[in-house]
């Protein structure tokens, strides 16, 4: 009669100890790996974006598409994305406005803190009713997205001198509409009205970077007043 061989207590103990050692090593490895992975993620999520500072936007007083006053107080304490359009433009402006509309639609989770502003570079023609009609075409949320007009020289000083965007009329387009030269850039402005970036709206990668940087500013900076008045 053949007896089944069974492991003795002497052989079981080393195997058990071996499994225990492996489990301990795995556990230690996990404990070391978790901080190594989690810490960089935490830092990335809570860091202030390393963005340049191109200077502060001075105080201003204009009018929006509803006919209501639009002053710097409307954006103080908010993160802002600004672009530049005119309603008679039938080339780049509709495309630029459509891209701003996509930003509006893509960022509902930060709607209270991220505001959108479209400055007219043809303010004499772009009255509030014309801007309102234009805004309606692109389903702009008036509580979040303002289309801005005002006295030409005052607006020019903000657009050209503070925001570094040209607004020169150079002849007319083939359609007969004025050819007002202005860059297709979107501008990121922080809660203290400091300019933090220029983003070419014709470049999809730069627009995605803009979304990321805007969300980072919202998440990592606290609401507060705008910059202190100049002495």
What are the pLDDT digits (tens) for 75-99? 999 999 999 999 999 889 999 999 9
Distance, CA of 145 to CA of 64 (rounded, Å): 10
pLDDT tens by residue, 41-59: 444 444 556 899 999 999 9
> Token pair for residue 68?
């209501």
Strand partners, 70: 62
Determine the average pLDDT of the residues in 173-200: 90
Q: Name the more confident of 178 and 4.
A: 178
Looking up tokens 């900076």 gives 221
According to the model, what pLDDT value does residue 176 have?
74
Per-residue confidence band for 28, with pLDDT thresholds at 50, 70 and 90: confident
Residue 164 near residue 21 (C-beta atoms within 8 A)? no
Residue 115 near residue 142 (C-beta atoms within 8 A)? no
Distance, CA of 168 to CA of 153 (rounded, Å): 12
Three-state DSSP state, 7: coil
Q: Which residues contact 39 (CB under 8 A, 6 or more apart)?
A: none
CA distance between the termini of the chain:
107
According to the model, what pLDDT value does residue 95 have?
97
Q: Could you give the percent of the chain with pLDDT greater than 90?
A: 66
Mean pLDDT: which of 16-20, 55-59, 218-222, 225-229 is highest?
55-59
Among the residue ranges 4-13, 17-26, 128-137, the one predicted with the least confidence is: 4-13
According to the model, what pLDDT value does residue 229 have?
60
pTM: 0.77
Distance, CA of 25 to CA of 2 (rounded, Å): 41
Q: For the purposes of burial, counting CB atoms within 10 Å of the CB of 229, is it exposed (0-12), middle (13-18) or buried (19 or more)? A: exposed
Residue 76 near residue 194 (C-beta atoms within 8 A)? no
Residue-range domain boundaries for the chain:
15-46, 61-220
Among the residue ranges 69-78, 101-110, 153-162, 222-231, the one predicted with the least confidence is: 222-231
| Mean pLDDT, the chain, whole residue set | 86
Per-residue confidence band for 228, with pLDDT thresholds at 50, 70 and 90: low
> Token pair for residue 47?
């860091």
Distance, CA of 70 to CA of 67 (rounded, Å): 9
Per-residue confidence band for 169, with pLDDT thresholds at 50, 70 and 90: confident
Polymer length in residues for the chain: 231
The runs of H, that is alpha helices, within the chain are 9-46, 92-106, 128-137, 152-156, 204-220
Residue 128 near residue 64 (C-beta atoms within 8 A)? yes
> Token pair for residue 66?
């509803």
In CATH, what class is 61-220? alpha beta
């Amino acid at each position: 009669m053949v007896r089944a061989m069974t492991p003795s207590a002497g052989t079981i103990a080393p195997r058990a100890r071996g499994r225990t050692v492996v489990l301990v090593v795995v556990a230690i490895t996990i404990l070391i790996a978790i901080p190594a992975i989690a810490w960089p993620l935490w830092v990335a999520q809570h860091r202030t974006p390393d963005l340049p500072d191109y200077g502060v936007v001075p105080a201003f007083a204009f009018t929006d598409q509803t006919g209501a006053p639009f002053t710097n107080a409307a954006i103080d304490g908010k993160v802002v994305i600004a672009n530049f359009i005119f309603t008679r433009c039938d080339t780049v402006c509709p495309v630029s406005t459509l891209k701003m509309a996509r930003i509006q639609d893509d960022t509902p989770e930060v709607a209270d803190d991220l505001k959108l502003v479209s400055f007219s570079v043809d303010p004499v023609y772009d009255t509030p009713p014309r801007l309102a009609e234009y805004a309606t075409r692109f389903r702009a949320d008036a509580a979040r997205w303002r289309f801005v007009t005002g006295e030409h020289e005052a607006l020019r000083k903000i657009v050209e001198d503070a925001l570094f965007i040209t607004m020169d009329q150079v002849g007319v387009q083939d359609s007969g509409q004025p050819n007002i030269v202005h860059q297709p850039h979107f501008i990121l402005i922080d809660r203290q009205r400091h300019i933090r970036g220029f983003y070419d709206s014709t470049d999809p990668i730069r627009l995605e970077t803009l979304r990321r940087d805007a969300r980072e500013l919202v998440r990592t900076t606290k609401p507060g007043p705008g910059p202190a008045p100049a002495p």
